[in-house]
Structure 1
């Protein structure tokens, strides 16, 4: 029987700083709300600052807004610099924001929109903020993936990473969500000897959010009919992320999702990801390509000699 982990299981978050991307709506909003209500100082990292302020006004707790456009590496760098001036350390970085199956578009840096937003933007943000997480025992990076990473066409298309030759919106989405997991696991491998920060992943199952606004028209037409039968509210969809972020028993490299049939809905549990997501060579290759595309090098994660001899 699946453990019925819920919001009331979140430990006291007093004194912790949490940065949540895409936090003005949907899963990100519910994640930020729950963390703030349990005492965390929460930063809503959002593309539209005005919408972020409106969201912050609906949350009870210590909440601030940080402008962040993941489709622009310049914006990612600016946001990271501002967060460095405002916070000495960060306890939780929750890479939640995303886009799903839009028509072919590119980011300001020329990346395919889904890969650029869902993976590369978060890769860069994590690398630029990691120095604020490393000194904090128990700090975590939580990256939100999707059951779409398991679809038959899910792969990292290194020969056409930006879909310049042709574009399949579903396959491009699956690629970006597989990239989220490859990143999570490679980051955890690099953090393992550090012992302070861990990298965890989560997925929301099928949740009612604005993420589906770019789905094909036929899917949007039938969604109101079948959606209530197989999906769940955003507050439930946020629980795997919240458990990955706050459960004292969570381990680096774990993946949380709904525990119900097909992982579509239900209370969060540790779930497996696809076999290729655990491919270490694939993880390392994507990491190298991501460093090259973003020009972001992660800080040294190995403990220094002084720390080793303490």
Structure 2
């Protein structure tokens, strides 16, 4: 596998359809734009129908592709089910949307906002539309998943002390374990749909704004711009995972130390490889979202 791959090496995607959640800015927007430029029909989701439609119209005008924008709130069950109900068959469901929660906030269902957005919303959406996904589900995690600890009995910090770092790392490890169990279930069911995990390394995007202090955020972004991937380079990892012939269950990330660079297959951490833990997480997520594997 080459370590110099970029979106310029991506095959034409004419006739294929890709859903990119969180596609209105940052890495998601770069991913959606590159997929559209290669001929894919792209569905971009954003926080509202209006914002998603505006971005989709711009990408469509720039690329000449069919691009649709739809609102999707991954913390809202009704929003997820409405989005799923209006979704046609797709080739790739790419879970790019994610947050680093600034404070301990909870959804109407009592879910911690980071776990709701990064895991439980995508889990429900995937289970709902999986029979309509022809090729693969791509789950985006982060390098910080290596710092996470997933407790299926306490996903929402009822007994543990919440911190921003812990909440984000835990949700990203949960992403990795979910993708592991999804891949196992797909294989067991004999499905031709694959589950692929990826991480974009460290990217200089707005998600780098980790604190409520703008001066600190400006410093973080300044540093990230000098050592991290651009949004377009980070999007290469998502595009590689979404379009190239990688094995089911593969993990794609930047080469080298994983901070920046061209996409390649990378190894999983021990926690991200734990099938028993992944199964327990699945059971908790299924109970909390009232959804199950549909195949």
What is the TM-score with the length of structure 1 in the denominator?
A: 0.89
- The separation in 2 between residues aligned to 1:112 and 1:119, in whole angstroms, is 11
- The separation in 1 between residues aligned to 2:78 and 2:36, in whole angstroms, is 28
Paired residue secondary structure (2:45): strand
Contact 1:131 1:299 in 2 (8 A): yes
Q: Aligned pair 1:292/2:287, yes or no?
A: yes
Measured against aligned partners, the alpha-carbon deviations of 1:46-91 in whole angstroms (never above 9, x if no partner) come to 22222212211221211011221101111111110111xxx2x210
Paired residue secondary structure (2:5): coil
- 2:72 maps to which residue? 68
Paired residue secondary structure (1:127): helix
Paired residue secondary structure (1:272): coil
Aligned residues: 288
Q: Aligned pair 1:230/2:227, yes or no?
A: yes
- 1:306 maps to which residue? none
- The separation in 1 between residues aligned to 2:19 and 2:216, in whole angstroms, is 33
- 1:161 maps to which residue? 155
- The separation in 2 between residues aligned to 1:36 and 1:200, in whole angstroms, is 21
Paired residue secondary structure (1:199): strand
- 2:142 maps to which residue? 146
- The separation in 2 between residues aligned to 1:11 and 1:225, in whole angstroms, is 34
> Which of 265, 269, 272 does residue 264 from structure 2 map onto?
269
- The separation in 1 between residues aligned to 2:227 and 2:126, in whole angstroms, is 33
- 1:8 maps to which residue? 8
- Give the stretch that moved more between structures: 71-80 or 219-228: 219-228
Q: Which consecutive unaligned segments of at least 5 residues does structure 2 have? A: none
- The separation in 2 between residues aligned to 1:228 and 1:64, in whole angstroms, is 30
Q: Which consecutive unaligned segments of at least 5 residues does structure 1 have? A: 301-310
Contact 1:21 1:96 in 2 (8 A): yes
Contact 2:119 2:171 in 1 (8 A): yes
Q: 1:14 to 1:223 in 2, by over 3 A?
A: same
Paired residue secondary structure (1:58): helix
What is the TM-score with the length of structure 2 in the denominator?
A: 0.93
- The separation in 1 between residues aligned to 2:293 and 2:248, in whole angstroms, is 18
- The separation in 2 between residues aligned to 1:129 and 1:215, in whole angstroms, is 35
Spell out the pairing of 1:155-234 with structure 2 (5 A cutoff).
Answer: 155-165=149-159, 166-193=161-188, 194-215=190-211, 217=213, 219-234=216-231
Contact 1:100 1:215 in 2 (8 A): no
Contact 1:149 1:175 in 2 (8 A): yes
Paired residue secondary structure (2:90): coil
Spell out the pairing of 1:30-41 with structure 2 (5 A cutoff).
Answer: 30-41=30-41
CA RMSD of aligned residues (A): 1.6
Contact 1:243 1:268 in 2 (8 A): yes
